[in-house]
Amino acid sequence: MSTFEIGFCWGFDDVAPLEGLQRLKLLGFDGIELWPDVLDRHGVNVWADALAATGMRCLQLCPYFNFVNGPEAVAKSREDLLQFIDIGEHLQCKKLRVFTGPVHGAGVVGAAAATEDQWAAVSAGLQEFCDISASNQFELCLECHPGMLTETSQSAQRLLRDVNRPNLTVNIQIPLADEPWDYSFQNLGPFATHLHIHNWHSPVMDFGDGLTYLAEGWFDWESPLRYLVETLNRRLCVSIEHPKHGGKHDPWLTAEKDGKYLVGLRRRLDAATT
């Protein structure tokens, strides 16, 4: 069994699902992540057929939940959860990405700004969603993202403790707010099942123009991945996100370069753990 699966966050406008999955498979990928807009554009049945035909997997579905902006937002999120459980069953994907609130706009609530009532609402909502998901053998994966209650490793740990459900896991997406990357992995590595992986031109780790190919940036992913898979014995999905690098690069070139890098890195880690 491989130490990690290699995923790609679907970001292609020029191919249908079947052709795109065939190309990604040839580049060494095990599967993809899907967002609501891409599901709506092509339809769940088209994705299911394409995944079955290629032997590729949907490694994570990425709905948008909102627990911080009142009961109506939670009720809408509950509807979305049930819809995505149905979609996941259809696509044989048992992992759903979790945000604690909106990513942009006036409703964004980060960990430092959240009130105790908002913390309680997020914890109660996640407990309910985890229990619903567990009855269908689904995992909920908290994405560490700016503007969320998971934007630092300390705040993500608090949420994990408060919710206290075994099917709540973590997607570590560095950099977390105002903390070194190794501190983030030490705190959240024991709960991690997923990584959104990037590289940067400089240690500023700026998203957008600062992004580059995995093998060409300053950050060396071998050390943290060795820590996760060898020291902590985690089995992960490592998934390439933002493949256009702020609009600078063709996502297919990113898939080619980053796929080659991750296939080689996985080969080395597999050899070290056998």
pLDDT of the chain, 274 residues: tens digit per residue = 789 999 999 999 889 999 999 999 999 999 999 999 999 999 999 999 999 999 999 999 999 999 999 999 999 999 999 999 999 999 999 999 999 999 999 899 999 999 999 999 999 999 999 999 999 999 999 999 999 999 999 999 999 999 999 999 999 999 999 899 999 999 999 999 999 999 999 999 998 889 999 999 999 999 999 999 999 999 999 999 999 999 999 999 999 999 999 999 999 999 987 7
CB atoms within 10 A of CB 48: 16
- Domain limits of the chain? 4-273
Cα–Cα distances (Å) from 21 to 16, 45, 57, 101, 158, in that order, read 9, 15, 9, 31, 38
How many Cα atoms within 13 Å fall on the side-chain side of residue 106?
0
Q: Which residue type is seen at 27?
A: L
HSE toward the beta carbon, residue 229, CA cutoff 13 A: 27
Q: Looking at the whole model, is its pTM more than 0.85?
A: yes
Q: Does domain 4-273 have CATH number 3.30.70.980?
A: no
